[in-house]
Structure 1
Amino acid sequence: MDRKVSLKDIAQKVGVSTALVSYVLNNKRENRVSKDLAQRIREAAAEMNYRTNQVARSLKTNKTYTIGLIVSDIANPFSSGLARIIEDEAEQLQYTVIFSSSDENARKSGKLIDTLLDRQVDGLIIAPPAFSEHQVIYLQEQQVPFVLVDRYFPDLSTNYVALDNYGAAFKGVEYLINTGRRKIGMITYDSALFHLQERKRGYTAALEAHGLPANKSFLKEIDIKLEQATVENVIQSLLSGNDRVDALLFGANKIAVAGLRYISSLPVKVPEELAIVNFDETEALEFYQAPFSYIKQPLPEIGRLAIRILLDSIERNSAPTQINLEGELVHKIP
């Protein structure tokens, strides 16, 4: 078995001190080292297949350089896209991310938190499911660094990065109104999650702001364990009778995929007879030829901010940072 390359080996190859090699490879600020020298050290480490002694590093810094990430469903394009961004950002900062999915289940979320803490992660990034406030309070009591992402609980003072869901829904509905639609429906999840409640509130507020009635029969809430048949039945009811909708706001990307799958099989012209706006852009929606608009969430910014806020919390135990980012409405309706 080959002997493991040490910092001393690299130092001898480059002709510098072991301390200087450690300084550069531990990603510390290099204002005391020229860029050329830092590059030579890194190149030598790569050529010699140097690997960080993580155990020694952890003992020295009292950190494991791992982060736990709990998303709602890693199979959901939104969650997987966010996870990818967080992983890439963390890697640049020499952190490893451990992924898991709560499946919108508070009990499972609690078990995952316990497992990640047992593995001594330095902090957590969590998209919390409904009714998991007690888990967040527990983390606060235990002084575990964490950031909530995508969702948060407005009554709890925590770090979070999320979309301005109220503003995004308002913007989407207002756009439909400005294109001449007057009977606008919404299909969303029946959930206590604050971000989904905010989307519903934005939908209603936009109608009221433009003098349109908030017809209760036009707002449909379905189980978060989405089934295709349920979406089809809801859409059929919205498109039946004399008082049928002329536009739809889908409150989540998975609802949009299921809804467009069904609408594409109907003799309904989109957007002439039915205009559509949905949350999030996903690859699955590329299979549908009908033009629709969508709210684009700033995923790269959400992921980068979540990592930066978490690491700042790990280092400084600073006051909570709370950020609501603006969504971009991508217009595709003539």
Structure 2
Amino acid sequence: MKPTIRDVAKAAGVSIATVSKALNGVDVVKAETKLKVLAAAKELNYVPNLLGKQLKSGQTNMLGFFTNSVSGPYFYALIESIARTADNMGFGLNVFVTKRHDTIQNYLFGNVVDGVIVFESRITGPDVDMISQHRVPAIFLDRPMVADKIGSITFNSYQEAFDATAYLISLGRRKIAYLAGYPDNYDSNERQRGYEDALKKYGLPVNKDLIILGLFEEPTSYSEMRRFISLHPEDIPDGILAGNDISAIGAMRALKESGISVPQEVSVIGFDDVEIAQYFQPSLTTTRNPIGRQGVLAVKQLVGMISNNDQGQSEVLDGQLVVRNSTTIK
């Protein structure tokens, strides 16, 4: 049977109140009494009821990360950065991945965390309104937001995609495809908008047939690229802007297996500069996004809202085009 605080008090020969004060470091307890309480707690393998302490204090010292997925190098880097920074600032991290909207709401408003970091498309406009009304401190990574207790840390996806597309055009590429991510994803939509605007600026047509749904996944990007090649063998693009590096790698695999050379026939650019990008053959030209910094800034702003009553801010991080071997002059 699990030992209780009453059992510790009995073993130490003190009151329950004295045990509570001793275990919580209250200075009014004599040193010898505290040692006696700690010895009894250790002997009984007593673990304090943290939930009870949280209910009493109104604070959990936990942050929540709500996300569509935890797979792929972007999320590995992001979650590691968030968790490390949270720990350094005295907070734990709960990661919530669920398709049930009611479960998301229960965790958002159930006082199980002190604040939330959001990369979750199922958290919609009405949910954001409720977050604001309940004054739940929140940082969004998947859309620009700012309010009293709401902020965001996003990438400059529109400008990055515009610049990457312009770079492909400068290499003599004229039939450029976009390998899109999720249809409701902010970064994918902004990258598509930047891609289309760059084509228009340089007098090239926007061909919707060249927008291929890769869903930010290597297997999907690979299969969709193979399907495109089989359906349009005489109409292969000479440039590809992929929604992320993993999609770019899937597309390059499909091209090479179809006997199409990268970068001579098709130049390819990705996004994020995940670790594998520099080692894949040919090494991937990509936009390096500061993923780790995004996690650090998200936690710091969130903890500031929790602990210091700071106001929410919207910050946009710029990336950097890193040119490698998957692109060349036509």
| Uncovered stretches (5+) of structure 2, i.e. residues with no partner | 1-7, 13-21, 32-46
**2:228 maps to which of 231, 234, 246:** 234
Residue 175 of structure 1: aligned partner:
167
How many angstroms apart in 2 are the aligned matches of 1:114 and 1:56?
19
Deviation of 1:55 after TM superposition, in Å, equals: 7.0
Deviation of 1:245 after TM superposition, in Å, equals: 1.2
With over 3 angstroms needed to count, the CA separation of the structure-2 counterparts of 1:186 and 1:230, relative to structure 1, is same
How many angstroms apart in 1 are the aligned matches of 2:301 and 2:229?
41
CA contact (8 A) 2:176 2:238 kept: yes
How many angstroms apart in 2 are the aligned matches of 1:138 and 1:6?
35
Query: Is residue 2:86 matched to residue 1:90?
Result: yes
How many pairs does the alignment contain? 290
CA contact (8 A) 2:216 2:243 kept: no
Query: Is residue 2:254 matched to residue 1:262?
Result: yes
How many angstroms apart in 2 are the aligned matches of 1:7 and 1:135?
40
Query: Is residue 2:188 matched to residue 1:196?
Result: yes
How many angstroms apart in 1 are the aligned matches of 2:106 and 2:176?
44
Q: Deviations over 1:180-215 (max 9, x none)?
A: 212111111351333221111000111122222222
**Superposition TM-score, scaled by structure 1 size:** 0.74
How many angstroms apart in 2 are the aligned matches of 1:190 and 1:56?
41
Residue 103 of structure 2: aligned partner:
111
Deviation of 1:128 after TM superposition, in Å, equals: 2.1
Q: Deviations over 1:138-169 (max 9, x none)?
A: 211111111111x1166988411110110111
Percent identical pairs in the alignment equals 23
| Uncovered stretches (5+) of structure 1, i.e. residues with no partner | 14-50
Query: Is residue 2:322 matched to residue 1:326?
Result: no
Residue 296 of structure 2: aligned partner:
304
Deviation of 1:99 after TM superposition, in Å, equals: 1.2
How many angstroms apart in 1 are the aligned matches of 2:102 and 2:120?
10
Residue 242 of structure 2: aligned partner:
250
Q: Between Structure 1 and Structure 2, whose CA radius of gyration is higher?
A: 2
CA RMSD of aligned residues (A): 3.4
Q: Deviations over 1:246-296 (max 9, x none)?
A: 110111344224323322312111101110001123345466312431111
How many angstroms apart in 1 are the aligned matches of 2:182 and 2:62?
35
1:264 partner SS: helix
Residue 96 of structure 2: aligned partner:
100
User: Residue type of the partner of 1:139?
Assistant: I
Residue 152 of structure 1: aligned partner:
143
Q: Deviations over 1:103-156 (max 9, x none)?
A: xx4xx355134135435211111102157222222211111111111x116698
How is 1:36-185 mapped onto 2 (pairs within 5 angstroms)?
58=54, 62-102=58-98, 105=99, 108=100, 110-115=102-107, 117-118=109-110, 120-129=112-121, 132-149=124-141, 151-152=142-143, 158-185=150-177
